[in-house]
Amino acid sequence: MNTDFSFAVSRRGLLIAAAGAAVSASLRSVSASAVEERRIKAASGQARFGGPEGPSTAVWAYDGSVPGPVLRLRQGQPVRITVENELNEDTTVHWHGIRLPNAMDGVPGLTQPPIKPGENFVYEFTPPDAGTFWYHPHANSLVQLGHGLAGALIVEEASPVAVDRDLLWMFQDWRLTTDGQIAAGFGSMMDAAMSGRVGNAVTVNGAPLADQPVRAGERVRLRLANACLARMMALRFEGHRPVVVAIDGQPCDPHEPEDGRLVLGPAMRIDAVIDMQGDPGSRHAVIDDFYDGLAYTLTTLAYDSAPPLRAHPFDAPVGLTRNPLPEPDLGTAERQEIVLQGGMMGGGKLAGVGGMMGMATPVMNGGAAWAINGVSMTGDGMAGMEPLFTLPRGSTCHLTMRNETAWWHPMHVHGFSLSVLSRNGAPVRHRQWQDTVLMAPKDVIECAFVADNPGDWMLHCHVVDHQMAGLMTVFRVN
C-alpha cells in the first residue's frame, strides 16, 4: 500500500484540478464525445493470496490479476469494452449496478449468447451514474467468481468530494486447501442450502490481511466492495467515525451508521469518508464481527509518526452529487411481492420448495434448495425463463420482498437501483438507493423503482450458491 504521503497530498491538488477540467470540458463540448476503449481478457493465471512468500494459487483472472484491473470510467462518457475469453469454458461479463441497455447486461441466454472460448464480446454503454460498481461473470458464476474473476468499476464524478486520498478495498474470500489451492466442491448441497460457500481466507485487493498506513489529519474516501461468494461482513473502525456517503454507488444523505458498523453482504458497496483523527504513531483495528464468535481484525489503521497533515479537521462538506435516478411515484405504483422460500430448517430438513429435487442432487446439476414465489430458477440465467411479472415501461413498481427463510440474503436487481423505503415497517432514512439489499432472516423490505429500462431483468440472491440453487427470478419491462 502507498505510504508516500507527499504523493497523497499532491493528489488532492490533482483531484481539484481534474474537477475544474471536467467542468470546462462539459462547457466546451456538446459535440459527440469520443468513445473510450477498454479491453479485458479472462484467462487462467496465478495469484499469491499469502503475499510474495506464500504459495502460488491457480486462479482465473481478468488481465492476469485478482481482483481484475480497476476500470475507471466517467459518468456520461460512452465506453466500449471488448472482453476476450481465453478460459476453457463459456463466460460473460455483468456490470453489476450499472444501469445500461438490457443487451449489455451480460446474462447468458437471457440478454446475450455466451462468449465461447477464444471469442470476444463487445460491451457498449454509457454509465449514467457515478459511483463504486464492479464487474464479474454471469456464466457458471459460482465457479468463475470463486476462481477470482471479479474487478472494481469506478465511475468518476465530474466533481468528486474533496479528500486527500481515494482508497479501494475489494474483499474476496477463498476456501483454500492446506497447500494453498482453491478447494474443489463448488455447489455442494450443504453450502447451497445453508450459508453458501464461505471461505477460510479473506483478501483485500487480492493481498493477505495487512496494515493500512494512514497519516494523522488526512481525510480518506474509502470504497468498500464485497466480492465474496457468500461471506457477509460488518466492519467496525476502532477510534474512528466513518461517514457513509454512498451505498451501492448511489449517494445517500451522509450519515454515521447506527451502532457504527458498516454492513456489507456479498456484492454490496459502501463509500465512506473517514477523518484520520488518531495520534501520530497510533494503531486502530478495523474489525469484521458479522458472525458471532468469529470476529477478526481485517486491517489496522497504522499511523505514521509524521505530525498531523492539518491543524484543524478537514471541514469541506462530504455530500456527493446525486445521480439522475427517476423518482418513483408511489401514488400510481404497481405493487409486486416476492417471497423467499426454502433453505435448511432446524433439524437438518430442507424447507419444501416448488420443483425441489432432494438433498442428493448436487446443485451444479440443477438441484434446487430455494424458491421465489414457489418457483426455483436455478443456474445463471437461461433462454426462455418466464418472467415472474411484467411492468409497463415508465411505471413505478412498489416491490415488497419477504424473507420467509432462516438465512441472510443480499437480494440484487439488475438494471435498476431500488429506493429502499422501509425495513420491517420502520422507514429507512438517509434516502438510500441500492441494487443489492441485505435481508436478515424473516425481514420484510419495501422498495420502489421506476421501470424505465425495457428488457428481461434478473433479480436474485448474491450468495452465489443460493442463486444457483433457485433463489432467482426474472421480471420484464416492456
**Would you tell me which residues interact with ligand C2O (CB under 6 A)?**
94, 96, 136, 138, 267, 412, 414, 458, 460, 462
Whether 329 contacts 396, CB under 8 Å: yes
Residue closer to Cu ion by CB (options 74, 138) is 138
Distance in Å, CB of 20 to ligand C2O, minimum = 35
Residue closer to ligand C2O by CB (options 215, 460) is 460
Residue 333 burial by Cβ neighbours in a 10 Å radius (0-12, 13-18, 19+): middle
- Partner from ligand C2O, Cu ion, none contacting 463, C-beta within 5 to 8 A by type: Cu ion
Distance in Å, CB of 87 to ligand C2O, minimum = 18
**Using CA atoms, how far apart are residues 463 and 476, in angstroms rounded to an integer?**
23
**Using CA atoms, how far apart are residues 100 and 105, in angstroms rounded to an integer?**
7
**Using CA atoms, how far apart are residues 252 and 271, in angstroms rounded to an integer?**
10
Distance in Å, CB of 435 to ligand C2O, minimum = 8
Task: Name the residues that contact Cu ion, by CB under 5 A.
Answer: 96, 409, 414, 461, 463, 466
Q: Look up residue 463 and give its DSSP letter.
A: S
Give buried/exposed letters for 96-121 (b at 16+ CB in 10 A, else e): bbbbbebebbbbbbbbbebbeeeeeb
Residue 237 burial by Cβ neighbours in a 10 Å radius (0-12, 13-18, 19+): buried
The alpha carbon dihedral of 197, 202, 204, 205 has a sign of negative
Residue 367 cell numbers, joined: 438441484
Whether 63 contacts 152, CB under 8 Å: no
Distance in Å, CB of 188 to ligand C2O, minimum = 21
- Partner from Cu ion, ligand C2O, none contacting 138, C-beta within 5 to 8 A by type: ligand C2O
Distance in Å, CB of 458 to ligand C2O, minimum = 5
Residue closer to ligand C2O by CB (options 96, 466) is 96
Residue closer to ligand C2O by CB (options 102, 299) is 102
- Partner from Cu ion, ligand C2O, none contacting 460, C-beta within 5 to 8 A by type: ligand C2O
Residue closer to ligand C2O by CB (options 13, 384) is 384
- Partner from Cu ion, ligand C2O, none contacting 175, C-beta within 5 to 8 A by type: none
- Partner from ligand C2O, Cu ion, none contacting 215, C-beta within 5 to 8 A by type: none
Distance in Å, CB of 353 to ligand C2O, minimum = 20
- Residue 454: φ, ψ to 5°: -70, 150
List 65's β-bridge partners, or say none.
62
Distance in Å, CB of 137 to Cu ion, minimum = 11
| Residue-by-residue DSSP string for 384-420 | TPPPSEEE-TT-EEEEEEEE-SSS-EEEEESS--EEE
- Partner from ligand C2O, Cu ion, none contacting 284, C-beta within 5 to 8 A by type: none
- Residue with CB nearest ligand C2O? 96
Residue closer to Cu ion by CB (options 57, 434) is 434
Residue closer to Cu ion by CB (options 102, 299) is 102
